[in-house]
Amino acid sequence: MTSPPDSDPFVARLMDETRLWQERGIITAEQALSIAANYDVPAGVAVGERTRGRLVTVLAIFGSLLVGLGVILFFAANWDGIPRAIRLALIVVGIPSIYGAGYWLRYMRGYQRVGTAVLLLAAVLYGTGIHLVAQAYNFPLNDPRLFSLWFLGVLPLAYLTRSQSILILAQGLFLSGVGFWLAKWMDESGEGQAIFSIALYLSLGPLLYGLGKLQAHYDLTRPYVAVYEVLGIVTTLAAIYILGFPLYDATSYLESGVEIKGATSLWVLFYLAGAGTMVAFIGAAAIQVRRRLPLITLGYEGLAVLIVLVMAYLVVFVDAGNDVLYPVLFNALLLAGVIGLVFAGYFWRREAFINIAIVFFGLGIVTRYFELSWGLLDRSVIFILAGLILIGGGFLLERGRSRMIIRMGEQGGAA
């Protein structure tokens, strides 16, 4: 008879190690449960440990974000009354001190989750400091260069600390910074750039995913793969979803989109995103060939990414001649992406992929329902039917998702 987990030092250490591997992105949550099952660790114990770990992480991150928000609001309310020298001293001394506290908690005291949350707080305050210094010298706070400096300061920290939460902040800053550059460009260049804006994000999503695939082959960068993959998928599906609306009759994207008008950097980013994606996938394929690993899965992913990139370039440079073709194509592409994501999540035992697919599938169904029925039925009937569809659809999706997760767990345990 196997000893209880808490009485076996090896099993206890194994549980600690699997939690650490999961935090670093080396294994998924389902794989951690499979490892525990092989050593007769009850599923409830393993899930309980994972839940407690997530609770600590969530509480610590929420706490750090609330502290950051409080600091921002305090300085925003009292900034004008603080002498400039003291403002700069608070920024120059205070932010490095918080970095030092996070380092001390994480690496010297062993409080990895809380220490990471404090480092995340320091990264948030670092961006706040950039904007406060800009305000002190009457620099426009909506200037995209401030966001770019924030991103460039946070990204190295994410790799140094091997923290997924800080990497999420860095990637969010990157995507938001692109939005700020787009807003500035549209102010300077006039209207007619909406299609290009969404197409740019449609090319950035595959780039993030491709960078994740490339980093998956190296031990030092493997913890970051999940963040790149999830953000890449979400960015891509969100862009496809928006391009599924009938935007094309109101936007002269072909005529105005080709004009550069001082936005050379955005066009360079648009082209580099596609080229970088292809380089990342070719590099990942070369590594797998050198290591004699199968290419079937990567081939399917590469084909899907290629289709997305082709659509991103087509929608900018090719006039469909009507306002129906592109919405139909992008809605069909969204449906294909959702189905492919469900299969990928099932076979790779990636619960996050399934959750993303369910969200975008439900969003697409509800959106198209309102779009098609708004002018045909009474408003009250529309909302009643929509509510019934959401309730029924939620029940069916949750039941299907639960069954799929159970099968994934059974397959992992059998493996």
For the chain, which residues make up each domain, given as ranges? Answer: 351-415
Structure tokens at 265: 């950097």
Structure tokens at 183: 């807003």
Angle (nearest 5°) at CA 190 between 187 and 192: 120
Tokens 């699997």: give the residue. Answer: 18
Specify whether the CB–CB gap between 169 and 124 falls below 8 A.
Answer: yes
Look up residue 322 and give its amino acid.
Answer: N
Instruction: Give the Cβ contact number of residue 21 at 10 Å.
Output: 17
Structure tokens at 402: 């639960």
**So what's the pLDDT on residue 6?**
44
**So what's the pLDDT on residue 257?**
43
Specify whether the CB–CB gap between 193 and 261 falls below 8 A.
Answer: no
Q: Using CA atoms, how far apart are residues 48 and 60, in angstroms rounded to an integer?
A: 18
Q: Using CA atoms, how far apart are residues 88 and 136, in angstroms rounded to an integer?
A: 9
DSSP classification of residue 293: -
Tokens 């959702």: give the residue. Answer: 338
DSSP classification of residue 292: T
Instruction: Give the Cβ contact number of residue 410 at 10 Å.
Output: 12
Structure tokens at 115: 């220490």
Measuring CA to CA, which residue among 209, 205, 143, 133 is closest to residue 177?
A: 143
DSSP classification of residue 258: S
Q: How many CA atoms lie within 13 A of 169 on its CB side?
A: 27
Q: Could you list the mean pLDDT of each consecutive 10-residue stretch along the chain, which spans 415 residues? A: 47 63 59 62 48 57 68 66 71 81 79 79 84 76 83 90 86 90 66 75 95 88 88 95 75 44 74 94 91 84 93 84 82 90 82 85 77 55 56 58 54 47
Question: Which sign, positive or negative, has the C-alpha torsion 306, 311, 316, 318?
Answer: positive
Measuring CA to CA, which residue among 232, 204, 225 is closest to residue 162?
A: 225
Q: Using CA atoms, how far apart are residues 55 and 63, in angstroms rounded to an integer?
A: 12
Q: Give the 3-state DSSP-derived string for 310-371, with helices as H, strands as E and coil as C.
A: HHHHHHHHCCCCCCCHHHHHHHHHHHHHHHHHHHHHHHCCCHHHHHHHHHHHHHHHHHHHHH
**So what's the pLDDT on residue 237?**
95
Structure tokens at 347: 């076979």
**So what's the pLDDT on residue 15?**
63
Whole-angstrom CA distances from 301 to 22, 85, 206, 381 are 24, 54, 10, 42
Exposure string for 82-110, b = 16+ CB within 10 A, e = fewer? eeeeebeeebeeebeebbeebbebbeeee
Structure tokens at 81: 């009354």
Specify whether the CB–CB gap between 235 and 204 falls below 8 A.
Answer: yes
